Chains A and B, each alone.
Chain A
């Protein structure tokens, strides 16, 4: 139990579908992150939120749309994805930006 919960754990969708990934943390952290993990590549930072405000968008295509309604919840809205977007999407949180990040177990996304 990491304190960071991601749902769903697995998701299969077509390229024309719209779906959302959810992340929730009960650690009292103020920063939340989305990462993409592909095979044989380092973890790629996608978005950073500090106190609900987006502070980093790491050149992520617009078909990925994050939402942070409060410091405990983070969403990643997906639409018109491509097969190369198939990966493990990890959410993390930290008390502050220069503190250790705690990760959820990810959503395994497969695009057909």
Chain B
């Protein structure tokens, strides 16, 4: 799992297995959440987002779950592939203020073993 302020956690899975990456966010007023994937030598790439009026959203092979009660976000990747190996960041945003500031977690390193 991931939590802001700790060293980079790692997750190692076998190709074809499902992966679950967790994130604990800090601001209970945050109402918009994004998962990013960052491969070596590249910038973060948008994967999926979710707003606080939802608790689940699905994309292609990815699902994001939001539990506002415990301020927890997770990213599920189905049938994980070697190309999924990367660092995954969650980010939170409070859109009620005048300045929209995305706050990022430190990231989780996902390694997919063939």
Contacts and interface: CB of A to CB of B under 8 A. Distances in A.
B7 A40 contact: yes
A45 B101 contact: yes
Interface in B90-111: 93, 95, 99-107
B61 interface: no
Contacts of A28: none
A56 B93 CA distance: 15
A5 B43 CA distance: 10
Interface in A98-112: 98, 100-106
B42 A98 contact: no
B88 interface: no
B43 A40 contact: no
Nearest to A33: B102
B101 A56 contact: yes
B4 to A, nearest CB: 6
A101 B42 contact: no
Contact of A48 (B43, B93, B99): B99
Contact of A42 (B43, B100, B104): B104
A45 B51 CA distance: 21
B39 to A, nearest CB: 10
17 contacts: A2-B45, A4-B43, A6-B43, A40-B7, A40-B8, A41-B106, A43-B89, A45-B102, A48-B100, A48-B101, A56-B101, A92-B43, A97-B95, A100-B46, A101-B46, A105-B41, A106-B43
Given A56-B99, A97-B99, A98-B93, A105 B7 contact: no
B95 A105 contact: no
Contact of B100 (A2, A41, A98): A98
A65 interface: no
B89 A90 contact: no
A104 B43 contact: yes
B99 A105 contact: no
B49 A100 contact: yes
